[in-house]
């Protein structure tokens, strides 16, 4: 089974590239983030032509997550257990489905904006809800993984220059502690093995030639339970999908499993 995750940064803007990538890479399951569309505006008919069922969770032009599957799509869940609101509104940041016997959560963790901002506190509360949800899923006995844009770099080596992040989100101790709590709950960080580069970054800013200079961050992650992690035969960042005209600022992660 091949499972992937990709922050597409607008599924409408990236649809031709997404369809081309699906046809080329042929993942069985894809977790998508930052759809930037309503659930009913998701291009389900277009991906269905390639054999994929789709479940989407979006409310307007911000956030949004989805799951595509060509091996079945069951038990769809939208939102985390005890998920917090931001400014009295629930944001569409998590969706789960069971696909071919594997339970996947597609997550788009809040950015946090900056330490001390209300959105930063929301990010930490949201990660706590993710921990509670993941702990319950991990106890179900099914192969299980949380995939997506975590907006946290697990270690200093996961950013191109840690000295530039002294006052920024993504690398603070509370964020990393919240991420480590997932590992304490029995989930493993499935670290992609880069094809050509020393650091398997997954995100590069559009500005200043960051991608070509490899000034990136590893913030898109796959956190898996023991069954899922033990079945991994290969994992990589698909840098090719970040190249060319009109790409997302994130590259997909592709994980191959022998179940």
Which residues are identified as catalytic?
108, 149, 250
Q: Binding residue per annotation — 175?
A: no
Q: Is 83 annotated as a binding residue?
A: no
Give the span between the Cα atoms of 8 and 243, in whole angstroms: 13
CA 166 to chain centre: 24
Query: CA–CA distance from 218 to each of 136, 153, 167, 175, 202 (Å)?
Result: 26, 6, 18, 14, 5
7 is in an annotated binding site: yes
Establish whether 149 is an annotated binding residue: yes
121 is in an annotated binding site: no
Asked whether residue 9 is marked as a ligand-binding residue, the answer is no
DSSP the chain: -EEEEEE-S-TTTTHHHHHHHHHHH--SEEEEE---S-GGGS-HHHHHTTT-EEEEE--SSS--EEEEESS--EEEEES-TTPPPBTTB----EEEEEETTEEEEEEE-----STTSHHHHHHHHHHHHHHHHHHHHHTTSS-EEEEEE-S--SSGGGBS-GGGGTT-SSS-HHHHHHHHHHHHTT-EE-----SS-SS---EE-SGGGTTTTT-EE--EEEEE-HHHHHTEEEEEE-GGGGSSSS--SB--EEEEE--
Can you say which residues are annotated as belonging to the binding site for Mg(2+)?
7, 34, 149, 151, 249-250
Can you say which residues are annotated as belonging to the binding site?
7, 34, 149, 151, 249-250
């Amino acid at each position: 089974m091949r499972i992937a995750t990709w922050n597409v940064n607008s599924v409408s803007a990236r649809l031709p590239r997404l369809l081309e990538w699906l046809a080329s890479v042929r993942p069985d399951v894809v977790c998508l983030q930052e759809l930037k569309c309503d659930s009913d505006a998701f291009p389900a008919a277009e991906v269905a032509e390639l054999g994929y069922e789709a479940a989407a969770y979006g409310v307007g032009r911000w956030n949004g997550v989805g799951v595509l599957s060509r091996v079945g799509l069951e038990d769809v869940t939208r939102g985390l257990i005890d998920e917090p609101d931001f400014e009295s509104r629930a944001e569409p940041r998590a969706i789960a489905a069971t696909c071919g016997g594997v339970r996947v959560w597609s997550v788009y963790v809040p950015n946090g904006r900056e330490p001390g901002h209300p959105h930063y506190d929301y990010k930490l509360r949201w990660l706590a809800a993710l921990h509670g949800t993941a702990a319950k899923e991990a106890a179900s006995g099914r192969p299980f993984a949380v995939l997506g844009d975590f907006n946290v770099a697990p270690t200093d080596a996961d950013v191109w220059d840690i000295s530039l992040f002294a006052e920024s989100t993504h690398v603070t101790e509370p964020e990393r502690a919240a991420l480590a709590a997932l590992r304490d709950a029995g989930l493993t960080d499935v670290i992609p093995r880069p094809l050509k580069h020393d650091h398997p970054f997954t995100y590069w800013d559009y500005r200043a030639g960051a991608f070509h200079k490899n000034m990136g961050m590893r913030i898109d992650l796959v956190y898996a339970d023991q069954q899922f992690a033990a079945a991994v035969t290969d994992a990589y960042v698909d840098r090719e999908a970040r190249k060319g005209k009109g790409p997302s600022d994130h590259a997909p992660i592709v994980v191959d499993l022998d179940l």
